[in-house]
Amino acid sequence: MNWVKRNLFFVIGGILALGLLGAAGFYDYKSWERNSAAFDKLTDIYNKLRELTNQRPSPGNDKISNIEIAKQQEQQLRDEIRQTWNYFQPIEPIPDPTNGPVSSETFANALHRMIDQLQRDATSASVSLPPQYSFSFEAQRSRVKFDPGSLNALATQLGEVRVISEILFAARVNALDGIQRARVSENDVNGPQSDYLADNSVTNDLAVMTPYAVTFRAFSPEIAQMLAGFASSPHGFIVKSINVQPAEAMASPEMGAPPPPVSTPGAPPGKGGLQTALQEQLLRVTIEVEIVKLLPKN
């Protein structure tokens, strides 16, 4: 005790020093804890930033904002889709359901009128048809009653067959041998097999693709005109394939005899030579066509 009394100031100073050292240690510990938490947070942010930067595409940096560019490109794409819509205009069904429900009576009347109209159009365009041709609706032509569930689909196909036929007539092909479509009715099961395809319509997230096959005879200029007609149509036609053969090799009694080759005069003959001529050969063509029908906008 005497030593403490003699060194009282030293003892008090030591106690104060120990207290200050403890406080400093506690402060350092808390600071380290905060720094450690801040460092962990900074590391997490850095890792996320590095992950985003390594993505393809990345969000960009302070000079280039890929997110903003992506928004602009999305808007541009939407604008282009709206413009493209003009090339996929729907074909009006016959009869049109928007004018009232399609009944067996209204469809039968419309079918008879349309077949008669297409036959007259073929005659006006000098396009030969098979005798009493029904444009793939032979199974329905003689009926007055139809499955109610198939009437809208039949009306849609009748409108599409009309447009396909008009393109062929406008190209003035020599002969239309047949149009084939997908089966959509119970009556189609027992119809002529030459009127139908094995394929059916396919639907995805954007559109319905409906297949058709058309067989006709023509010379090469008419074939080119036919392809141009499908390409310029506003109804979303896609020619999937085309098969071309000499018409003579496929001639049959039902098709009739093909017309003779067309000779086109060439250059005038030289002395002692023969006049050259270009012989245009009649061709039998089968094309597979899809009609792309966009689904209604959401």
Q: Look up residue 260 and give its DSSP letter.
A: P
Q: Could you tell me the two tokens for 157? A: 């196909």
Alpha helices in the chain (DSSP H): 2-6, 8-54, 66-84, 104-124, 138-141, 151-171, 186-189, 220-232
Residue recorded with tokens 């005798």: 131
The model's pLDDT over 157-172, given as tens digits with 9 standing for 90+, comes to 999 999 999 999 999 9
Whether the pLDDT of residue 297 is over 50: the answer is: yes
Mean pLDDT, to the nearest integer, of 175-193? 92
What's residue 221's pLDDT? 93
Contact 215, 284 (CB under 8 A): yes
Neighbouring CB atoms inside 10 A of 7's CB total 12
What's residue 164's pLDDT? 96
What's residue 116's pLDDT? 96
Calpha distance 16→12 (Å, rounded): 6
Q: Band of the pLDDT at 57, cuts 50, 70, 90?
A: low
User: How many contiguous H segments (helices) and E segments (strands) does the chain have?
Assistant: 8, 7
β-sheet bridge partners, residue 202: 209
What's residue 217's pLDDT? 96
Q: Give the chain's mean pLDDT.
A: 80
The answer, as to whether pTM is greater than 0.85, is no
| Lowest-pLDDT range of 82-91, 213-222, 262-271 | 262-271
The model's pLDDT over 189-199, given as tens digits with 9 standing for 90+, comes to 888 999 999 98
Give the residue from 215, 133, 134, 136 showing the smallest Cα distance to 168: 215
Contact 284, 244 (CB under 8 A): yes
Calpha distance 259→148 (Å, rounded): 44
Contact 172, 182 (CB under 8 A): no
Mean pLDDT, to the nearest integer, of 201-212? 91
What's residue 41's pLDDT? 78
Neighbouring CB atoms inside 10 A of 204's CB total 8
- CATH tag, 92-252+282-294: 3.30.70.60
What's residue 294's pLDDT? 84
Peptide bond into 296 cis (omega under 30): no
Whether the pLDDT of residue 136 is over 60: the answer is: yes
Q: Output the CA torsion sign for 167, 160, 203, 195.
A: negative
What's residue 108's pLDDT? 94
Residue 100, sorted as left (phi over 0), alpha (psi -120 to 50) or beta, turns out to be left
What's residue 154's pLDDT? 95
Residue ranges of domains in the chain: 92-252+282-294
What's residue 140's pLDDT? 92
